[in-house]
Chains A and B, each alone.
Chain A
């Protein structure tokens, strides 16, 4: 691995490198930077909603821009690039190849992210991460909206390039002695997620071009006054972005598959059922996109079909949870920081999934749709599951990247604050939704229930924020001055385990 801080190199050597660990490091650091920027916006949102009325944000347009950029940045500039970073580090090692299949393409895919990030952050669009026409086509103020559209275009190309690279690396470059069924589940998760990207992303790419020409006034695909159909955009959008949810969650589950057996000191309960569940998830991810659209006036038959398609995703997700629990069962579990994050992530994954089943049931969706319930529900996935898996994995990777150990006590404190905060924010938001508070609002009715629940959520968000500051300090301090890690067995787990740095992987 890189061990940057033990053998320092000039920064431009890392930046212009095409080696997979260097590109992985660039992905990881960039995504974490965007995570803190997006998180700061989230704290701004929660501070504004602490009381009804105007608090710290001057007007509702600024507020709308803030939640739009928060959502876009967290999904496209934190979660996706972070997963790519982990994949870059570990996929070539796990399939025993010297690098990614196309190293230059890999570096190009990474270097598309900073300009796209700049477009999103400098534009600061206001039409939500979902950019529905007609609002986005005719009312949303430019040029910020156009900058957002171009940024998405660039990010789409970047993730397709990354996906092609992962698929070719795993299928074509794996060691001939290694059958696909023995490829570790983390690499399998990247294979499944990349296949989804290849199939799903082009649809949104088309929708973006149509949206842009609509904005330029030369077409009316989604503009009803020119004979277009705004619902068509929603179908194109969700056909990409419902599967995209699985693109995010599958690598996070793969990361947990790496952590859980290691810290339970037991092999994975069933590799084959893990693979089966990944493949199932990538197929059923395409059967449920329109469950976001029950309230757009869908017919009873359409709603029934998409409800069944949505429920079909549950058994495969349940198989992963079963696999995790069965792996831990009877194991000599060591609750080091990465394990705590993984187990916490699974618990929140389970609650998010349970909420999802309730949502999929058609009549209930008409209570929760576009309310704070939905905000709480999907944050349990993106924060509770995916970010928890990712942060846990970053703790896990830390010795391999830096050659040093993070501070275990502060790592645990970070987990406890984040877990408590996540429960406070997002469970409360579910209840807030049941009381009918709409999402994406700058202000709310000053009823006592709304006020107290918003305050619980805001306090929870501040607790998460404090934990993340602890994390940042821990990472930076330990990277320079932390205890040197025992590279054969950083957590003292004993036994013969396959550790990534032991792979024969010549550096440059």
Chain B
């Protein structure tokens, strides 16, 4: 229509699509690996409520606001909420799953370094959302 050839634009679009295909394929591949929970992972039940976290270990012991885990052991979180939506987040280990009433979402990880890490809520949940924190303590 504009009376001149558009070939540079189509080459450019082709390059963009190739880049996107690369990003997409790589993301697909990584996510596929990340979603594969190891068989020996120990289950931790996580419950979010306004405005704190409770944890239940496989042996039935419960913790509030603090979570003690052992280094090198794979863990699988089963995350849910009691009142409104929350989001369970351990940023240092890239654990992020929404805690939703009536649903159980899962995430898994292996703590590989002893120390203290912040557990926080990443989904807006009201008055004290900003302060809905806990501590992950990884022991040797």
Point out residues on A near B: beta carbons under 8 Å: 60-61, 64, 126-128, 132, 134-135, 138-140, 181, 224-225, 229-231, 267-273, 295-297, 300, 303-304, 307-308, 311, 314-315, 318-319, 322-323, 326, 357, 360-364, 366-367, 369-371, 435-436, 438-445
Specify the chain B residue showing the minimal Cβ separation from A229. Answer: B102
Given contacts A297-B106, A370-B87, 13 further A-B contacts (CB under 8 A): A135-B125, A135-B126, A140-B126, A181-B1, A231-B103, A267-B2, A273-B6, A297-B97, A300-B32, A303-B31, A315-B13, A322-B9, A438-B89
- Do A315 and B20 form a contact, CB below 8 Å, given A231-B100, A295-B98, A445-B118? yes
Specify the chain A residue showing the minimal Cβ separation from B95. Answer: A366
Contact A230 B101 (CB under 8 A): yes
Specify the chain B residue showing the minimal Cβ separation from A63. Answer: B130
Secondary structure dominating the interface of A? helix
Specify the chain B residue showing the minimal Cβ separation from A300. Answer: B35
Residue among B106, B122, B125 with max Cβ neighbours from chain A (10 Å): B122
In the assembled complex, 12 residue pairs joining A and B whose CB atoms fall closer than 8 Å, in A order, are A60-B129, A132-B124, A139-B84, A273-B6, A297-B100, A304-B31, A307-B27, A315-B16, A326-B9, A361-B27, A370-B87, A441-B129
Task: For B1, list chain A residues within 8 Å (CB).
Answer: 181, 270-272
The answer to whether the Cβ of B128 comes within 8 Å of any Cβ in the partner chain is yes
Task: For A362, list chain B residues within 8 Å (CB).
Answer: 27-28, 30-31
Closest 5 CB pairs of A and B: A436-B91, A361-B27, A224-B102, A297-B105, A441-B130
Alpha-carbon distance between A60 and B125 when the two chains are bound, in angstroms: 12
Specify the chain B residue showing the minimal Cβ separation from A312. Answer: B20
Q: Nearest Cβ distance between residue B28 and chain A, in whole angstroms?
A: 6
Contact A363 B12 (CB under 8 A): no
Q: Nearest Cβ distance between residue B3 and chain A, in whole angstroms?
A: 10
Count how many pairs of residues, one from A and one from B, have CB atoms less than 8 Å apart in the complex: 158
Task: For B129, list chain A residues within 8 Å (CB).
Answer: 60, 64, 438, 440-442
Contact A318 B23 (CB under 8 A): no
Contact B122 A61 (CB under 8 A): no
Q: Nearest Cβ distance between residue B17 and chain A, in whole angstroms?
A: 6
Contact B101 A224 (CB under 8 A): yes
Alpha-carbon distance between A138 and B35 when the two chains are bound, in angstroms: 33
- Do A311 and B23 form a contact, CB below 8 Å, given A230-B101, A442-B130? yes
The answer to whether the Cβ of B131 comes within 8 Å of any Cβ in the partner chain is yes
Task: For A268, list chain B residues within 8 Å (CB).
Answer: 2
Alpha-carbon distance between A125 and B19 when the two chains are bound, in angstroms: 42
The answer to whether the Cβ of B39 comes within 8 Å of any Cβ in the partner chain is no
Task: For A436, list chain B residues within 8 Å (CB).
Answer: 89, 91-92, 118, 120
Task: For A319, list chain B residues within 8 Å (CB).
Answer: 9, 13
Contact A61 B131 (CB under 8 A): no
Task: For B44, list chain A residues within 8 Å (CB).
Answer: none
Task: For B118, list chain A residues within 8 Å (CB).
Answer: 436, 445
Contact A357 B20 (CB under 8 A): yes
Alpha-carbon distance between A357 and B125 when the two chains are bound, in angstroms: 28
Q: Nearest Cβ distance between residue A293 and chain B, in whole angstroms?
A: 8
The answer to whether the Cβ of B34 comes within 8 Å of any Cβ in the partner chain is yes
Task: For B9, list chain A residues within 8 Å (CB).
Answer: 269-270, 273, 319, 322-323, 326
Task: For A296, list chain B residues within 8 Å (CB).
Answer: 98, 100, 105
Digitize B107-134: 1 where CB-to-A-CB distance is under 8 Å, 0 elsewhere.
0000000000010111111111111010
Alpha-carbon distance between A18 and B67 when the two chains are bound, in angstroms: 64
Task: For B60, list chain A residues within 8 Å (CB).
Answer: none
Task: For A128, list chain B residues within 8 Å (CB).
Answer: 124
Contact A270 B24 (CB under 8 A): no
Task: For A443, list chain B residues within 8 Å (CB).
Answer: 130-131
Alpha-carbon distance between A267 and B50 when the two chains are bound, in angstroms: 58
Alpha-carbon distance between A269 and B12 when the two chains are bound, in angstroms: 14
